[in-house]
Amino acid sequence: MKMLFKQRFFSWLDSYDIYGEDGQTLFTVEGKLSWGHKLEIYNSAREYMGRIQEEVFTFLPRFRMYVGEDYIGDICKEFTFFRPAFTLECNGWQIQGDFLEWDYSITDGQGNDVAKVSKQIWNWTDTYTIEVYDPVNALFSLMIVLAIDAAKCSDGK
3-state DSSP call for residue 142? Answer: helix
Tell me phi and psi for residue 108, to 5 degrees: -85, 180
Contact in structure between 66 and 51 (CB atoms under 8 Å): yes
Summarize pLDDT for 101-132 with one digit per residue, the tens.
678 899 998 889 999 998 877 666 667 899 99
Q: Residue 157: its pLDDT value, please?
A: 47
- Measured between alpha carbons, how far is 42 from 27 in angstroms, rounded to an integer? 5
- Measured between alpha carbons, how far is 124 from 116 in angstroms, rounded to an integer? 22
Confidence of residue 44 (pLDDT cuts 50, 70, 90): very high
Q: Residue 11: its pLDDT value, please?
A: 47
pTM comes to 0.83
